[in-house]
Amino acid sequence: MMSLMARKQGSHSDITGPKVQAAALRLIAQNGFAAVSMRQIAAEVGVQAGALYNYTPDKQSLLLALLQAHMDELLNGWNDWDVPDAPEAALRSFVNFHITHHYDRQDSLFISYMELRNLTPENFKILEVQRREYESQLEGILTRGRDAGVFGLQDVRLGAMAIIPMLNGVSQWFRDDGRLSIEQICDQYWAFVKGVVNG
């Protein structure tokens, strides 16, 4: 068994790998992809630059892995989320999910919008499909609510395009020691979203 095997000195793949991702995420969110060097990431992890290439074929792939992990977690998280059938309850559930899911993923959310432009076109397309898939989850709720006569929303697509940036905005200013708890924020934003769909 793994835990009984003697470990070779300097063999830390299982711990270094996640540390590389975490360091890259933090540094890229803070300074931007192009501004962060492999040496900086290595220094944060506590290895030399060359060692990073055991975990990524190149810098570009490292960014792609971060963005893909973010979208995968988002879609899987929503998939596992318990969503009521009734449109209004489902929308409330979406608001709660979106805010709480990104609560401790501020860096991920930030780079998932900011660093798309540093991807190759084909990688960009893959992520756009995933983002579109997430947006259409919200649009599905809005459509059902409108068809049921619960929401007064005219344009479902536009409503989704208004709601998502509004909710994303929370991650730009939220602090744990701030004036409002995450639950209070969810409550208030639910009121805002209700206003948007009932306009």
Partner DNA sequence: GTCTATAGTGTGATAGAC
Partner DNA sequence: GTCTATCACACTATAGAC
43 binds, among DNA, a second copy, none (CB under 5 to 8 A by kind): none
CB of 37 to a second copy, least distance (A): 10
Q: Binding of DNA at residue 157 (CB under 7 A)?
A: no
Rank residues 7 and 157 by Cβ distance to DNA and give the closer one.
7
Residues near a second copy (CB under 8 A), total: 37
Among 43, 126, 162, 182, binds a second copy (CB under 8 A): 162
**For tokens 């697509």, what's the residue?**
157
Q: Binding of DNA at residue 39 (CB under 7 A)?
A: yes
Residues of span 36-95 touching a second copy by CB under 8 A: none
CA distance 7 to 155: 60
CA nearest neighbour of 171 among 116, 112, 99: 99
Q: Binding of a second copy at residue 166 (CB under 8 A)?
A: yes
31 binds, among a second copy, DNA, none (CB under 5 to 8 A by kind): a second copy
At 58, list the tokens. 């190149």
**Options 44-52, 57-65, 76-84, 159-167: segment touching a second copy (CB under 8 A):** 159-167
72 binds, among a second copy, DNA, none (CB under 5 to 8 A by kind): none
Residues of span 46-105 touching DNA by CB under 7 A: 46-51, 53-55, 57-60
Binding site for DNA (CB under 7 A): 8, 10-13, 16, 36-40, 42, 46-51, 53-55, 57-60
